């Protein structure tokens, strides 16, 4: 168990093996060719496909402030946390009951899904932060015109103090269920303060410098930096209420949009992918024109949200690659076929005929169904499903997220895919946690965080008005390689997504003081040394967000998603292959104590197995034999702290809790529990005040109520 190579074996069940549903095979998915062109590109991880699902206007506390505790009122989708679910840096009892703001946070129910928009300007958010006191949200980021309405479904529901309010797992049920089965980061931030356009540019290029207003001046541009929403210059759907400009986009023969727009210089991640001929695309709802008027594309398709409001699908200032001449598709051209999705235009293609990796969302779904998936895909929902308060909502967003993720999880690309769900900005919704200011600004016209004209210590990186990091926003990492039911506390930001793509395909950096160079890593969300297989796919209901199916790496499918909702009988043998027993209508047998493994811990021919008999809701039974996991722990004592590292080898499909207790005499010094899902768990334990003496460590494993444990004593001098 410890340094003397003692080990304990924990009993573990598994659901029955059925016919393969999706044929998951990591080795096949990672082999160049084999029907997956993206697999041919060299990567530094097993990830061959990155999908960034980029929503709108959500702070971390607004969606995850009380995670994993939901109120579970009657008539609402239920959420019950899995055993061992970690807590987050969310809304504490003090923040809920005695908040420093004018109003305490209140729970919003599913019936209050449609609310008004909040003020999320570059300056307003800094003022709400009040030098880190986080106490002026009601005064500074409450939405303009956000007043009480008797019709919550109209999208302008906004009693005084609503900027403080939050949803729980009974409304954002799908997102909480994804957090349960994959990784949630509670230390992820916008790269700078401000609304949608800066956020979209940061997630695609990590740099809002190099901004130039076209057709006039704009308050969205300050000191050559984008700080606010403004339509893109290289898009004829921009400023749709105005006629086209009389001037052409230089060198293109394409008329520029009318009014004031924004052009960006420098590189984005698409340029870096193009340099290595790696397939990629931005896919946005409503990008395909609904019509043409005098040759000009009209992006006029729309849908109705849950309140019946008609919302235009395509929102120009949410499309970051249209700000760059190198990656723009001004005429909203479509590819000639699904085979062309993700592929660069032929050399010399005029911009007027170019597709340039910019697509309608429908092209992603068509190419996925056709057996192709770009190496990097950004997905942007149509307006009514993008979560932006005022015209969208978490319930419409949930339908979009679940439908897209279900498709990916049931595709052949799932074994080599990482999905990042995040947001462009916080919308001004309250969040109690301020991030570090690593890019300062000193603009007397826009900065207020640390007093008039100051945001941070004044040390500039690439110019003024990029102050950040900004507000905290959610990040979920969904992948068969993601850690399960895990909360990642690693500091990171929007530019970290750019950095992950750059590092995975060895692209280099965008340069010009891009935030990708200093952004925190997202690697802690993954476990690329999994010895027990991949995290299962979780298929959700797109209306309720509840788990419908769990698909395991061997293709086995369990309805309802929760193996522990079935009746299980566990029996133990010491042979490699157990003989199935006949199910009987008797209470589950008490498992016998498994034999200890040899010192190598490798399993060998005598590694214990267990026979699992599952009884489903319709009364049918299935039988399967699986290897039991082996747990081996090593202790290291430094000063007054002991680090206990436990390695878990074997199959970990049912809820398995690893608990460590440290005693000195009869006194309990530490009692720490963690889900045993990562293959390697580390516990930091504090010794007694005088340090020297005899200690006892108890390590126990609880697998669906079946507990095995072992004690070890040691002396510290």
For residue range 518-537, list pLDDT tens digits in order.
999 999 999 998 765 678 99
DSSP H or E run through 114: none
Is residue 600 very low, low, confident or very high in pLDDT (cuts 50, 70, 90)? very low
Distance CA 559, CA 548 (A): 6
Distance CA 9, CA 709 (A): 9
Phi, psi at residue 104, to the nearest 5°? -80, 150
Is residue 29 very low, low, confident or very high in pLDDT (cuts 50, 70, 90)? very low
150-204: per-residue pLDDT in tens? Answer: 444 456 678 889 999 999 999 999 999 999 999 999 999 999 999 999 999 999 9
210-249: per-residue pLDDT in tens? Answer: 999 999 999 999 999 999 999 999 999 999 999 999 999 9
Q: Which of 155, 192, 104, 123 is nearest to 471 (CA)?
A: 192
Average pLDDT over residues 127-139: 97
Q: At what angle do helices 494-504 and 196-204 cross, to 10 degrees?
A: 20
Whether omega for the bond prior to residue 469 falls within 30 degrees of 0, making it cis, is: yes
Phi, psi at residue 163, to the nearest 5°? -60, -20
Contact between residue 244 and residue 321 where contact means Cβ atoms under 8 Å apart: no
pLDDT at res. 594: 29
Average pLDDT over residues 563-587: 30
Distance CA 565, CA 94 (A): 36
- pLDDT of residue 455 exceeding 50, the answer is yes
Q: Which of 471, 282, 495, 309 is nearest to 385 (CA)?
A: 309
Domains of the chain in start order, with CATH, are: 48-57+169-212+266-540 (3.40.720), 564-626 (no CATH)
pLDDT at res. 144: 66
Distance CA 494, CA 202 (A): 6
- pLDDT of residue 100 exceeding 50, the answer is yes
Highest mean pLDDT among 454-458, 518-522, 667-671: 518-522
Q: Are strands 537-540 and 547-551 parallel, antiparallel or unpaired?
A: antiparallel
Average pLDDT over residues 467-483: 97
Distance CA 609, CA 589 (A): 16
In this prediction the pTM is: 0.76
372-388: per-residue pLDDT in tens? Answer: 999 999 999 999 999 99
Q: Supply the mean pLDDT for the chain.
A: 84
Distance CA 156, CA 167 (A): 17
Distance CA 688, CA 671 (A): 14
Contact between residue 183 and residue 476 where contact means Cβ atoms under 8 Å apart: yes
pLDDT at res. 263: 98
Choice between 492 and 9, residue whose per-residue pLDDT is larger: 492
How big is the chain by its Cα radius of gyration, in Å? 27
């Amino acid at each position: 168990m410890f340094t003397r190579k003692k080990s304990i074996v924990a009993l573990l069940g598994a659901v029955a093996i059925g016919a393969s549903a999706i044929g998951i095979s990591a080795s096949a998915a990672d082999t160049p060719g084999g029907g997956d062109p993206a697999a041919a590109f060299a990567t530094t991880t097993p990830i061959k496909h990155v999908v960034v699902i980029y929503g709108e206007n959500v702070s971390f506390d607004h969606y995850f402030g009380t995670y994993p505790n939901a109120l579970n009122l009657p008539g609402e989708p239920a959420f019950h946390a899995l055993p061992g679910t970690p807590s987050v840096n969310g809304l504490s009892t003090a923040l809920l009951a005695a908040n420093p703001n004018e109003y305490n946070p209140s729970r919003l129910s599913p019936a209050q899904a449609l609310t008004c928009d909040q003020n999320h300007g570059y300056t307003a958010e800094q003022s709400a932060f009040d030098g880190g006191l986080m106490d002026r949200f009601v005064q500074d980021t409450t939405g303009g015109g956000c007043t009480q309405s008797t019709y919550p479904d109209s999208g302008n529901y906004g009693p005084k103090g609503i900027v403080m309010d939050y949803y729980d797992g009974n409304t954002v049920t799908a997102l909480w269920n994804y957090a349960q089965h994959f990784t949630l980061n509670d230390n992820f931030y916008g790269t700078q303060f401000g609304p949608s356009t800066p956020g979209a540019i940061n997630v695609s290029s990590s740099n809002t410098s190099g901004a130039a207003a076209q057709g006039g001046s704009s308050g969205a541009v300050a000191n050559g930096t984008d700080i606010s929403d403004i339509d893109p210059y290289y898009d004829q759907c921009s400023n749709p209420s105005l006629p086209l400009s009389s001037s052409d986009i230089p060198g293109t023969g394409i008329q520029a949009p009318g009014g004031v727009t924004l052009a960006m210089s420098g590189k984005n991640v698409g340029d870096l992918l193009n340099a290595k001929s790696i397939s990629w695309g931005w896919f946005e709802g409503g990008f395909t024109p609904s019509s043409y008027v005098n040759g000009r594309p009209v992006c006029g398709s729309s849908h109705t949200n849950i309140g019946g409001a008609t919302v235009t699908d395509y929102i120009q200032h949410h499309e970051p690659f249209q700000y760059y001449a190198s990656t723009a598709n001004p005429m909203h051209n479509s590819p000639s076929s699904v085979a062309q999705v993700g592929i660069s235009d032929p050399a010399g293609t005029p911009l007027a005929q170019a597709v340039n990796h910019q697509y309608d969302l429908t092209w992603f779904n068509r190419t996925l169904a056709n057996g192709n998936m770009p190496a990097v895909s950004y997905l942007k929902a149509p307006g009514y499903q993008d979560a932006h308060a005022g015209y969208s909502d978490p319930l419409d967003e949930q339908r979009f997220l679940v439908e897209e993720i279900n498709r990916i999880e049931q595709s052949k690309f799932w074994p080599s895919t990482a999905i990042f769900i995040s947001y462009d900005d916080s919308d001004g919704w309250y969040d109690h946690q301020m991030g570090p200011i690593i890019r300062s600004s000193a603009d007397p016209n826009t900065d207020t965080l640390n007093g008039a004209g100051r945001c941070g210590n004044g040390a500039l990186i690439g110019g003024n008005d990029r102050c950040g990091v900004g507000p905290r926003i959610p990040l979920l990492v969904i992948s068969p390689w993601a850690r399960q039911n895990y909360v990642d506390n690693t500091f990171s930001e929007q530019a970290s997504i750019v950095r992950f793509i750059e590092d995975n395909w060895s692209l280099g950096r965008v340069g010009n003081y891009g935030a990708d160079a200093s952004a925190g890593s997202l690697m802690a969300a993954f476990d690329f040394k999994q010895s027990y297989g991949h995290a299962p796919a979780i298929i959700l209901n797109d209306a309720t967000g509840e788990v419908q199916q769990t698909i395991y790496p061997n293709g086995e499918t369990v309805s309802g998603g929760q193996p522990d909702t079935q009746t299980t009988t566990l029996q133990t043998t010491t042979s490699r292959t157990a003989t199935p027993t006949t199910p009987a209508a008797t209470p589950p047998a008490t498992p016998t104590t498994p034999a200890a493994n040899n010192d190598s811990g490798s399993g060998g021919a005598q590694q214990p197995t267990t026979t699992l008999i599952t009884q489903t809701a319709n009364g049918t039974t299935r039988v399967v034999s699986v290897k039991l996991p082996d747990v081996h722990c090593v202790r290291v004592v430094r000063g007054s702290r002991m680090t206990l590292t436990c390695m878990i080898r074997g199959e970990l499909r049912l809820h398995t809790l690893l608990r460590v207790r440290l005693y000195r005499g009869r006194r309990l010094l530490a009692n720490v529990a963690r889900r045993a899902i990562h293959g390697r768990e580390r516990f930091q334990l504090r010794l007694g005040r005088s340090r020297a003496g005899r200690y006892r460590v108890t390590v126990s494993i609880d697998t669906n109520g079946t507990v095995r444990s072992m004690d070890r004593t040691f002396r510290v001098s």
